[in-house]
Structure 1
Amino acid sequence: MLRSDWLANYADFWRDRYADIGTAALEHLTISATAIALGSLVAIPLGMLLASNRIRWLHTLVFTIANIFQTVPSLALLAILIPLLGIGVKPAIFALFLYAILPILRNTYAGFSSVDPALVESAKGMGYGTVQRLLAIQFPLAFPYIMSGIRMTTVYIISWTTLASLIGAGGLGQLIVSGMGVNKEELIVTGALAAIVLALVADRLLGALEKRFTRKARTVTRETSYV
């Protein structure tokens, strides 16, 4: 009986607050997607550079810096950024961007390092230039690794974005914090479930994209290996 009453109240809550929930979800998705996109724009080219240029000290320096950012507690990083960037969306995106770099960088580096040098030489023998080899051979073969890093990062970032509400950035975390403040279970449950659903949907979409490009990579491998 209590369970049915709670479900009925929860249904009423959704009818009354669906607009606010949708706004919070959109804010959450915008912050997460921006941070992941910025992290990808930095980490993927950097990983490609490190894989093609085996300068040991540069590799060590870049990964050490990325690891340092990854190990700083999220709340501490947000607190550090407040005097520099203030409160709101900007420091939240910047902090999440820093967290997004390492896993994407590591997987990009692993993907390009795993490409068989014989395939690259075969492509060179077919008359492929440096840029052609990079885009037509190496990138498709490394893409599953890159997407694996992006998928893992996406799940983490969507989860960590709930903390952005602590510095006034909004998102689904605001529902959780508000629910804790007024002791309203519906707000807490809705914020948590919505974040989980966003992470699962994003992972499935990225997984479908990964499978599509993985098939293309296998085709590239077969065609080049026959030369």
Structure 2
Amino acid sequence: MSALIPRPAMEIAPGAVHLPGWLTLEQQRELVAACRAWATGPVPIRHTRLPRGGAMSVQTVCIGWHWQPYRYTRTAGDVNGQRVAAFPDWMVRLGRRAVLDAYGDETAADGYTPDTALINFYDGQARLGMHQDKDEKSSAPVVSLSSGDTCVFRVGNTRTRTRPYTDVELASGDLFVFGGPSRYVYHGVPKVYDGTADPATGLESGRLNITMRVTGLTDEDAGR
């Protein structure tokens, strides 16, 4: 569905680029189908348990590497002990195209080789507090893809969880890439607009977010 008011591509901060409507409906359907398969195993989707005992309201499943606060492993010791699904080559190609379209830099795109993705599912009540993606050894960009319900994506600064920040609406099909000076910005999702999903994506409700990352890790680093 086309937006009534065009949403232009924007650089929200140096290295933080929003490309609305980057994914077609067919590409979103394919991603939703792939994520549904990953959500059933070998390591199923779950509410991640935090070190102090609470659980995240967002549900997460990982591929390539398993993330738990605040480290990556090949196997999911906090879930079922199984090795996570492999990171597919087609996702690498998708990530490279995202970096190229966001930055217009063929060299950066060709060298971008994501090896993990965190796949987050938000229902209408889920939120994600301000945080930095800093458990990776690599400072390569994070590629974020959205499908389903629209959300408010809060893009902060690299020093504090508080202001200054900018709120951006991420709709179904949007791409957001943050790297360079914005690689370690605090960011979060304070609101999801429940019921705004287009069923043509394969999601009747809820928001699906896929963030590709380069861990910079080897199996020796993980001890697996």
Larger Rg belongs to? 1
**TM-score, normalised on structure 1?**
0.26
